[in-house]
Structure 1
């Protein structure tokens, strides 16, 4: 696991010297008070400037839940359409089955009537045949009638009557044959209708099973959608809670940064006050020295005048007048070594920058925030070095920055420079 070290450089008021021991003691008191306050803060994340891993996981779960919910709803819609189609098909099968039953019933009635007609026709023909046989047959009767006739006309009429009877018998026989054929067709239609009814029943039963399966799948899909909705609601609540926590952390970070800047400004102001006091003291000392020199010169002049008055000897030339008082010379303090931007060294052996200094868009909150440091990648337990010579101004634990050390480098290139080292596993 890698750790992150953030480097914070803050420039404040110029014109100061190194703080005194009393200032250092006040800084120590401030540090101790700050530590006692910060240690009471419970913090679950040591990388406030990075997006919380829990928040990112919650976001991914929300996005996945949305995708799953969309898929589940689409699948549910398809199942519902299939169920509706199965219901329509079932209604069609029921209608066809009812029609087939009606056709079967009509066919059976037609077959029954046909059988009755065939039976009646056969009985009529059988009765006629028996009667004709008992009377000696149609042919002999016709001849007897013709021979017994008084004239030819009567004989012809008798023969025609016999032909009519014979024709009726022939027609009856043809009707019987037709009825038998029709009865056979009706029986075939009854069989076909039975098969159609059986097929319709089988299709209806099969469709009913499919419909029941689809309804069960649709019910499960509805339950799955309900679960996805609940999951999505839960993940949204987690995201909102994580956002609120992230905003709280960011507010804490802003407050800590303002506190640090205020502390550095106060440190720079105290340093400026001390420098001004020392410069004023030195000016006063120089003025006192010059005043004493002038007074000594005037006293020497008076003594010389008195000696001259007593000895009446020529006076030596007067010494040159002292130069007029000018502004005090620059301080004798050793000047600060010139420093350019490259004076700060790397705080860790790794020079890989994971996150540079500057404004950046928060991936979750969608707002621009200042990342006020440079993050270096380093393994846990790696040594952290001072970027430049300086004095430890504060060392404490902070909810946002973790274990933190602030180094005061004094005035560098005319500005007050300090560096901050954060997220350390421990203090050396």
Structure 2
């Protein structure tokens, strides 16, 4: 089983990887197992460090995507909170103005009430004076004046005087009643003003509380936006730092894919020429492939958007989520053309199935913990060729399974039963 250590940087990884993927071409005349052992020794110091760097790249991409996804709604929440705060502050201002106006009206009502009380007091004093005067004189005095009249003119004058006094008394009583009614009205107005003040004070207090809550919400929203902006900045900076490393890794993967495609094309051409030379037709198989492992598909074949590089790249195979150490089986009868370690694909087995359904078909099994086959070995469908793992550019145990037609990657699901 191949093991790796936590030492070495990406530059070393790339250098070893470039040397590694060139090794299989030179193995034709050498013992494959000896060459393979040499490669194992070269990469032994790199594996876990690769895993850590993969996790770092994945974490940076996830952090950037997460921050960019959360920032717009957070900014919208901040804008909403600021609008609510402005509304609450306006409500508080209006409530304060209304309370001030109500208090002013209450003061005016109090002044009018006190004025009415003063008028009421003055009229009561006037009425009391009339009452005393009437009590002191009484009806006997009025009768004496009438009896002592010397002429009709005296009598008329006396009667006129008492009628005037009587009218004055009635007017005082009427004014007193009017003042009493006015006083009661002003008392009611004063009471209403007091009630309005209490209500306005409650409204003002509620407005202050609403403003405080809105301000706290806006402050929290602002803090969240600032946190997300800072997180995005850190993620962007980290992503920028990792770009060169990622580009280097992708270059390794592309170089390996190009190399393998060329190997397949040469084998297909060699098979064709051999058939032409012997005058025999190329033997072609038919049918589909068996699944190399039994497990769920965690990542299908297809284009993927890279959150750090901001471009699409092809995911060249189908990932099966299986635990490390799961037996990986040949999808079809074939010949092992390569079994080696690559910094991108980890422990890798490549099986040549020859011409099938009109195309030259090859399958690859990647990120293995270890393989159990050698170059040139014949395999039957279902035969164990290795065990799943997480070597190479991988962040967790799985099998990355690829199918190539005439040297080109195609969707494995087109072939799987």
Q: TM-score range by the shorter chain?
A: 0.5 to 0.7
- Corresponding position of 1:362: 305
1:167 Cα offset (Å): 1.6
- Corresponding position of 2:93: 87
Q: Tell me the alpha carbon deviations over residues 271-327 of structure 1, each in whole angstroms, 9 at most, x when there is no partner.
A: 999xx9xx9xxxxxxxxxxxxxxxxxxxxxxxxxxxxxxxxxxxxxxxxxxxxxxxx
Q: Tell me the alpha carbon deviations over residues 11-53 of structure 1, each in whole angstroms, 9 at most, x when there is no partner.
A: xxxxxx99741596997699569747965963347699xx958
Contact preservation (8 Å) 2:126, 2:172: no
- Corresponding position of 2:183: 187
- Corresponding position of 2:76: 70
In structure 1, how many angstroms separate the alpha carbons of the residues matched to 2:286 and 2:298? 20
Where in structure 1 are there 5+ consecutive unaligned residues?
1-16, 147-154, 280-329
1:234 Cα offset (Å): 4.3
**Residues 252, 214 of structure 1: CA spacing in aligned structure 2 closer, same or farther, 3 A cutoff?**
same
Q: Which structure would you say has the larger RCO, counting Cα contacts within 8 Å and 6 or more residues apart?
A: 1
In structure 2, how many angstroms separate the alpha carbons of the residues matched to 1:84 and 1:19? 82
Contact preservation (8 Å) 2:306, 2:312: no
Residue 325 of structure 2 aligns to a residue whose secondary structure is coil
In structure 2, how many angstroms separate the alpha carbons of the residues matched to 1:247 and 1:346? 39
In structure 2, how many angstroms separate the alpha carbons of the residues matched to 1:419 and 1:46? 25
- Corresponding position of 1:262: 259
- Corresponding position of 2:51: 43
Alignment of 1:137 onto 2:137: no
Contact preservation (8 Å) 2:298, 2:319: yes
In structure 1, how many angstroms separate the alpha carbons of the residues matched to 2:290 and 2:191? 93
Q: Tell me the alpha carbon deviations over residues 95-122 of structure 1, each in whole angstroms, 9 at most, x when there is no partner.
A: 1221122122122112212311331353
Which of residues 213, 220, 230 in structure 1 aligns to 2:226?
230
Contact preservation (8 Å) 1:405, 1:422: yes
In structure 2, how many angstroms separate the alpha carbons of the residues matched to 1:349 and 1:18? 31
- Corresponding position of 2:123: 117
**Residues 104, 352 of structure 1: CA spacing in aligned structure 2 closer, same or farther, 3 A cutoff?**
closer
- Corresponding position of 2:103: 97
In structure 1, how many angstroms separate the alpha carbons of the residues matched to 2:260 and 2:122? 121
- Corresponding position of 1:310: none
1:242 Cα offset (Å): 7.5
Contact preservation (8 Å) 2:123, 2:176: no
In structure 1, how many angstroms separate the alpha carbons of the residues matched to 2:227 and 2:48? 35
Residue 137 of structure 1 aligns to a residue whose secondary structure is helix
TM-score normalised per structure 1: 0.61
Residue 314 of structure 2 aligns to a residue whose secondary structure is strand
TM-score normalised per structure 2: 0.63
Which of residues 245, 249, 254 in structure 2 aligns to 1:252?
249
Question: How many residue pairs were aligned?
Answer: 342
In structure 1, how many angstroms separate the alpha carbons of the residues matched to 2:280 and 2:41? 34
1:217 Cα offset (Å): 0.9
Alignment of 1:396 onto 2:355: no
Alignment of 1:213 onto 2:214: no
Contact preservation (8 Å) 1:108, 1:190: no
Residue 50 of structure 2 aligns to a residue whose secondary structure is coil
Contact preservation (8 Å) 2:106, 2:194: no
